[in-house]
Each structure stands twice: as C-alpha cells, then as structure tokens.
Structure 1
Amino acid sequence: MQQTRLDTARIRAARTVIDPVFLDTPLYRCEALEPVLGCTVSIKLETANPVRSFKGRGTELVASGLAAAGERAAVCASAGNLGQALAWSARGRGLDVTVVASRFATAAKLDRIRALGARLELVDGDHELARERAAAIARRDGIRLVEDSLDVETCEGAATIGLELAARAGSFDTVLIALGGGAMATGIGHVLKELAPGVEVVCVQPLGAPALTRSFHQRRVVTTESADTIADGVAGRYPIPAVLDDLLLVADDAVLVQERSIITALRLLLDHAGLVAEPSAALGLAAVLEAPERFAGRHVVTIICGSNVDMPAYRRWVTPAPTS
C-alpha cells in the first residue's frame, strides 16, 4: 500500500494513551435488521461512552499531546461532536478549550459542550464559517487550532476502530463508514488496507453534502456552494487536500444517499436494533437500502458513530407520517 499520513505503529501506541472508556466498543451481529436489508449486518457501536461519539478517540491523542508539550489552551470548530470530545479530553488535563460552532447546530450538542466546561462561541453561518473564526482565534491568542481530519491525531485516534475491526477480519467482507471530514474513513481505511486488505471499505455521504465524495471520484478537490442535509456531522463543503490524498489510497468506493434513505435507516436502527442514532450514524444502512443488490449475500459492518440528536427533530424523523 502507498503511504498515507498515518502510521500503524503510532495507531497501536495510541491505544495506551486513549482513555479505555472509548476503546473496544461492541461489535455484534444484528440479525433483526437482516430480513429488511437482505444481507448479514454487524454493528460497531461507537456511542456508549461519555461523549456518545467516536471523536473521543482522536481528542484523547490531541489533548494528551498538548498537555505533554506544556500547552494550556486550544480552539476548534465543530458541528458538535468534536467540541464535546475535545472538552471532555481537555477537562482532565488542565486545558482551556474554546469551541466555535454555528448557532444553527444541534442544540443538545451545544448544551453538552457548555456543560463540559468549554467556552462556546457561535457564528451566524455554517461549519465552514466556524472554521474560519476558530483559525482567527488561534492566530490572535497564539494557541493550538485543532482541525478535525487535517490533524493526524484525529485520524489515528479513529484508526483504533480499525484495529478492533481487523481483529475480527474474516467474519465480514465490507465496512460502511460515514464520510464527512474524512478522519474516520481514512483512519479505519488505513488499518484495514494494511491488516485486512480483503475487506471492502465503502464511504457514505449525503447527497445534500457531496463534496468529499465528488472529490474522491474526480480525484481532485471539489467544493460546493452549500450543504443541505439532516446529517449535520458530515455537512462540510471544502475537502482538505491531504485528507483526499489519503482517502484515495484506502477507500474502495464512496457513495451518496438521499435524505429519505437516511430517515428510513434511523427508523430501522430504532425499531430493529433499539438504537438512537444521529443521521450521520445511519448513513451505512442508508447505502444498503439504496443498493440492496450490491450488498445481497454479503456481511457488512456499519459504524454507529454518534448518537447526539436534537430530540424534537429526531422524533419527527422516526415517527411515520399518518396514513389517510
């Protein structure tokens, strides 16, 4: 395999730094989903931890490195989950964290960021505007700007999921990974291509936020003017060139799914697996729903990557419309 920015030895070492509360998450077959989807389905559950998403794996590495270097503050832009995770990881290491987010972000995520002790600044725009503001704060205050997916720690933290999957390789043939900034896809993909090359790595993004998927297929950075999806955690518009370079080396395919498929997948996870998932976490099942013939007879693993939802919106999504 050509070299990505990631290093497998560092990824293995990361397991000694990351708080065990984020490691060795459940991986289990969910037979109740299989009659609906027409394939064997296993779930990798990344939500049973204090921040209810996989992001804590990466922020543990970031915060540990900052503390070891004697740093005392950091800033990040976040749709919600990274900010929560960085606040959690920083709190126990004496670090001050500022999180910049869109004021239109999921309210529950913003509330949790505040509760974890981070300073929260809201901008009147989308995640890309939040990234610009976070960079400005970092320059002004001379502090570390934590950039999800660009900072290799965020990718290598997520890659520890790949180590856990690789230990079970042979029992499944496909992994479906939500694609946003790319940390999870490049991290897991890197490990699987090295340790379990027979496993197909398929990335999934909403049709309403297609920038990195289009970039993957055109093999160049493609930006979009807007993003329109309920999957707020993956709604980026400006792919990072270095991340795309890695993704091209480790992903076998990237697909786009429609909003109605994401909503159906949310309902399936609740009704058949008893799981509350945020829309980004339902992308893998949405991909199966849209291409059942592609996955028929296969054993797929889908990563349930987050469960921080706005409950009023979630109830609307999972409650079927009344029939006349």
Structure 2
Amino acid sequence: MPHEASTSKDSAVPGLSDGDLKSILHREDPTWASIAITPCMKSEKLSALTGCELFVKYENLQYTGAFKERGALAKLLSLTADEKRRGVIAASAGNHAQGVARNAATLGIDATIVMPRHTPYVKVQQTEALGANVILDGDDYDAANVVARKKCDEDGLTFVHPFDDPYVVAGQGTIGVEMLEAVPDLDILVVPIGGGGLLSGIAIAARQIRPDIKVIGVQAQLYPSMLNLLKDQDNPIGGMTLAEGIAVREPGKLTRKLIADLVDDIVMVDERALESALSLYLNVQKTLAEGAGAAGLAAILTNPEMFVGKKVGTVICGGNIDTRLLSSILMRDIARQGRMARLRIELLDVPGQLTKVADIIATAGGNVIDVSYHRIFNDLPAKATYLDISVETNDRPHLDRIIENLRAAGLATEIATY
C-alpha cells in the first residue's frame, strides 16, 4: 500500500497451483452449480445518494445467506478421497458453519462444527439441519476453535479454516470474477475485511482481470486488526460491533500478505455508519444486509471524496441478522431522522397539563405514542414535574415545529437523548 499494478504471476496464491487457482476462479467443477451466481446490479437510488455509480453484489441471496459457501466448497473439493472419507471439522458460530455444513453434505462428507456453548439455538438448529454434527463447547469463538483443533488432531479430520487457507481464499475470489464479468469497467472495489479471506480472493481475481482497478478494504472501527498490521498503527481492538462477521482480532497470516501486496488502502467505519448503511439497504434498496454486509456502503458514505464520480462495486457479503437487533437498528434510524422522538417537558403538577400538551402536538400534526411522568426522581420544585412523551412526526422540520409550538405555549421542552 499504496498498490502498484500487479501481473497475474504476482497475484498467485501461495500454496495453490496456477491451474487450481484458474479452475476455482472460473468454477470449472460442476459442483459449483450449487453456488448461486448472485446478481451484481446498479442501484440508481444509492448512486444518487452517494455521488458515485454504485453496483451491488448480492451475496445475501446465497442459500445460506452469505458468501462463505464459496470458500468452503473450494476447500472441500480440494480434499483427497481419504480426507473426504475421514471427514472435516470447523469452528464457527455463524456463516462459515452453515457454508461448511451445506457443502459437506452436498459432497457426502461428514462435517463437525464446534460452536460456542452460548450460540443462539436458531444458529445451532440451522447448522444441524444442513447435515453437520454440532458440538457446543467453549465460551467464545477462540475457545471453540481450540476444541476444534484438538478434535481435529485426535480424530484425523481436516480443518476448514474460515479465511486463512489458499483454497478458501480462491473460492471467495469467484465473487471478483463474477463482478467484473457483470461490470467490466468498474473503477473501484470496496470489500469488507474480517480475517481477510474475502478481500484477498476478490483482489487476486481483480488483479488478474484488471490490474489497474483500485481495491479498498473496509474494517469496523472497533476491530481494525488488519489496518493496524499493514499501516503500523495501534488502534484499540474490541467491543460490541454490529459487524460481528468481520470482528476478528487476529487476521490471517496468508491473507495479510496478499492484502499487503494487492490492496490499495484500508478504511475504518464506525457503528453509526454501519447502522445507517444497513438501514439504507433495507429502506432504499429493499434488501437485507447484516452488519458486515453493510460495511462497503458504510465506507462509501463515510468517505465520499474517494468515490465521487467513479464506477464503484461493493459486496453485501451476508444478510443473516437477528430480527430483534434489526428492529432496534431501524427504530434508532427513525429517531435520528427526527421521525420519532422522546420529548421531556417541564410542567406544573396540576390537572389539565397533559391535555394541553397533547392538544398542541395534535394540532401540529404529531402523534403521541407513549407518556410517562416523573414526579419523584427529579430535581424540580415539589409542585413541578417532568413529562416524557414520545411522538411520531413526518421528519425533522416537523419535529422542530412541534417543539417550537410547545415552547411558545410556555412549556420548557427538550429532546431526551437517553
């Protein structure tokens, strides 16, 4: 970084022959028919919002809802007959688990997935339904990974790594081939980074087809592990991120080398940008992205000067998100737009005050959805109280008019931010 155009020889994956790489990237094995060639389409609405010509690759439309199937299949197809007979094992609480499970079943390979013991039941159920044997062990992914590695050695299984494997990297690279087949003149590719398998694979494919194309990686601000390594920075790592699919503390050894050689830049996006991007995908594009899947759009929204006027491709790498979390994100976005707000109003504690407030809001066209008084836990005089009232409005200017009308009636009003 910054990248200089590479030849296809420079772009080869260590541990993989040129012939095997070509075979994977071009999906030559007939088994690849089980993996969808997902659409890569221009979003007119998002293009207008971002100032670039934006093309979106919909990996959320894969059978398991994420791109991980590609790398899993490429790895499984590389196994010898004896390795297939003995079976495979992986550690995952998410998309990798289902990608391995589905493709192992397709190939008649026994698959064991070690998942943290507190993995939501629905994820365990979905993985078992795809044919895998699930072991619940360990308090988190790292602990589950230790268990999987131990069982791998004890039982002579083959370990299927989620990103740090040449076949897995090449499998993810099929996305890059498909994007450039669909839109050959893309200027920039914007790709999420967790462990680096997706970005490495796409970068390898892109450099072979279009050596001059610009490739940008995106990391969640709370997990900038690859950025720290390659830019020699010391940003803190850890915390609760919406982009849990790319929340990786230790990126791959193979992938970090490939990204250093092939990628132009890495940018970070904060949680608010991830939420906004996810909401835009759902409300504007009418498609569901998980947090990691929204990272590319979040980067474009955060750094518009990098992309304005360019033909840009990004990937919704997955659409598997908890519905309760999705509901919370959408409601928070509505609040940020001013279409819903909680107002704190200081009142005299006498009859008729609530009616007065409700009438002002209704006259201004607002809708009251929740009311609560705070008579005891406040620092006001004994004959005064706080009223917290939640209202629905059309937009922020409408909300501002309601607040102005309340204040004009002598009611001290603020937007509650808690």
The TM-score, its normalising length taken from structure 2, stands at 0.72
Distance 1:111 1:308 in 2: 14
* Amino acid of the structure 2 residue aligned with 1:242: L
User: Is 1:214 the counterpart of 2:228 in the alignment?
Assistant: yes
Structure 2 CA distance for partners of 1:272 and 1:108, relative to 1, 3 Å: farther
1:94 aligned to 2:108?
yes
Identify if the C-alpha distance between structure 1 residues 224 and 88 changes in structure 2 by more than 3 Å, giving closer, same or farther: farther
Q: Counterpart of 2:77 in structure 1: which amino acid?
A: S
The residue correspondences of 1:1-324 to structure 2 (distance < 5 A) are: 1=6, 2=10, 3-5=12-14, 9-14=19-24, 15-17=27-29, 18-66=31-79, 68-69=81-82, 70-105=84-119, 108-168=122-182, 170-218=184-232, 226-319=238-331, 320-321=334-335, 322-324=340-342
Per-residue deviation, 1:211: 0.8
The structure number with the bigger radius of gyration is: 2
How many Å separate the matches in 2 of 1:224 and 1:98? Answer: 34
Q: Residues 122, 224 of structure 1: CA spacing in aligned structure 2 closer, same or farther, 3 A cutoff?
A: farther
| 1:277 Cα deviation after fit | 0.8
2:40 and 2:56 in contact (8 A); partners too = yes
Q: Bigger shift: 265-274 or 95-104?
A: 95-104
In structure 2, how many angstroms separate the alpha carbons of the residues matched to 1:37 and 1:109?
A: 35
- C-alpha change, 1:155 and 1:314, in structure 2 (3 Å) is same
Gaps of 5+ in 2: 1-5, 343-418
Q: Is the 8 A contact 1:266 1:276 kept in 2?
A: yes
Look up the equivalent residue of 2:256 and give its one-letter code.
L
Change (3 A) 1:121 1:227: farther
- Which AA in structure 1 matches 2:22? R
Query: CA 1:8/1:107 → structure 2, altered by over 3 Å: closer, same or farther?
Result: farther
Q: In structure 2, what is the Cα distance between the partners aligned to 1:267 and 1:225?
A: 25
**Letter paired with 2:63:** P
Corresponding letter in the other structure for 1:80:
G
Deviation, 1:155, is: 0.6
* Cα RMSD for the two superposed structures: 2.2
Conservation of the 8 A alpha-carbon contact between 1:12 and 1:160: no
Pairwise CA distance, 1:93: 2.2
CA drift at 1:170:
4.2
Tell me if structure 2 keeps the 8 A contact 1:180–1:236: yes
Q: Work out the number of aligned pairs and report it.
A: 322
CA contact (8 A) 1:128 1:236 kept: no
Scaled by the length of structure 1, the TM-score of the pair is: 0.92
CA distance in 2, matches of 1:228, 1:24: 33
Offset at residue 56 of structure 1 (A): 1.1
Cα 1:179–1:111, aligned 2, differ >3 Å: closer, same or farther? same
Give yes or no for contact 1:8–1:191 (8 Å, CA) kept in 2: no
Letter of the structure 2 residue corresponding to residue 252 of structure 1: D
> Secondary structure at 2:21's aligned position in 1?
helix
CA shift, 1:71, in A, is 2.8
234-243 vs 186-195, which deviates more? 234-243
CA 1:294/1:106 → structure 2, altered by over 3 Å: closer, same or farther?
A: farther
Q: Secondary structure at the match of 1:148?
A: coil
- C-alpha contact (below 8 Å) 2:293/2:319 kept by paired residues: yes
Residue type at the aligned position of 1:118: A
Offset at residue 106 of structure 1 (A): 5.6
Deviation at 1:174, TM superposition (A): 0.8
Contact kept in structure 2, 1:109 and 1:309, CA below 8 Å: no
Contact residue 33 and residue 41 of structure 1 kept, 8 A: yes
Distance 1:211 1:50 in 2: 30
Q: Aligned partner of 1:180: which letter?
A: G
TM-superposition CA deviations, 1:169-207 (whole Å, max 9, x none): 543211111101111100010111121122211111101
Cα offset for 1:143? 0.8
Conserved? CA contact 1:209–1:228, under 8 Å: no
- The runs of 5 or more residues in structure 1 that have no matched partner are none
* Matches of 2:272 and 2:121, distance apart in 1: 23
- Partner secondary structure for residue 47 of structure 1: helix
| Same amino acid, percent of matched pairs | 30
Cα distance change of structure 1 residues 90 and 303 upon mapping to structure 2, 3 Å threshold:
same
- Once residues 236 and 93 of structure 2 are traced to their aligned partners in structure 1, the CA distance between those partners, rounded to angstroms, is 18
Q: Higher relative contact order by CA 8 Å / sep ≥ 6: 1 or 2?
A: 1
